[in-house]
Amino acid sequence: MTQVDFIVALFITVAVIMFSLFIVLGRFNTDFDQLNLKSLDIDSATLLQQINDNLTENFRSVQVMFNETSGLSHSETLQIILRPSGSVDRMHVYDNLLNEIPSAVVKDLTEVRVDITLSFSANEKKLIRFIYSGTPTTEIIYGSNPVTTNVSAIILSERVTPVISDAKCSDLSETFYQSLRNSLGAENNFHVTLTDCNFGPLPPLTNVVVKSKTVMKEKSDGVLSAEVMRLSVW
């Protein structure tokens, strides 16, 4: 073998070794990124729920099904009476699409009376939600006369409704992110995107896992709306 042949053979050998290392390292990096993303995906689901729990306040929701009984179209002012075990605050009324319905709320020492005006077509049913912060009720009463109004009512349920609190979002400070991350024991960086409630550093362009969930959020005027909270983790 001449010196030229040796040099060519050595060059080919080195090239093959370098190519093999490139393939192996590329696969290793790909596998590592996939494992990292899988780990982030698992962690982000838990983290999203933990952050949600830290921002929520438990409201109460009463659902009432109103039923038009005369077979005619008409509008009526209807009353629901709540007798709470303690207090009722921030009362709002919504239809089944979460559109707010104007209401008149009168409180005394023992009960809260809520009047709303609804328009019905013949035999129409309307599901209405009365949402408030406060204590559970001991009694819920349909205060209108179903004979004179031609509208009957079935009180379906009272339940806890978690709501992203405007007060908690308003209290977000520059130190909130780090203190929350420490309290949750989060090992990864994260960013929360939610109307008037964004916090955390902005995520990079790659190797980011995004989780989302629909939440009930309180606006600054007390009105509730369904919104999507997004969590980016990296």
| The predicted structure's pLDDT at residue 179 | 86
Torsion of CA 33, 37, 39, 44, to 10 degrees: 150
DSSP 8-state code for residue 177: H
| Residue (of 139, 29, 166, 164) closest to 85 by Cα position | 139
> Domain residues of the chain, as ranges?
60-161
Per-residue pLDDT of the chain (234 residues; tens, 9 = 90+): 565 555 545 556 655 555 444 444 444 344 434 434 455 666 788 889 999 998 999 999 999 999 999 999 999 999 999 999 988 989 999 999 989 999 999 999 899 999 999 999 999 999 999 999 999 999 999 999 999 999 999 999 899 999 999 988 888 766 788 888 888 888 889 999 999 999 899 999 888 889 999 999 999 888 999 999 999 999
CATH architecture classification, 60-161: Sandwich (2.60)
Which residues have CB under 8 Å from 214's CB, separation 6+?
Answer: 226, 227, 228, 229
Q: Residue 230 in contact with residue 194, Cβ under 8 Å?
A: yes
What single letter denotes the amino acid at residue 41? D
| The predicted structure's pLDDT at residue 32 | 38
Rounded distance, CA 97 to CA 120, Å?
16
pTM: 0.75
Q: Residue 161 phi/psi, 5° resolution?
A: -125, 110
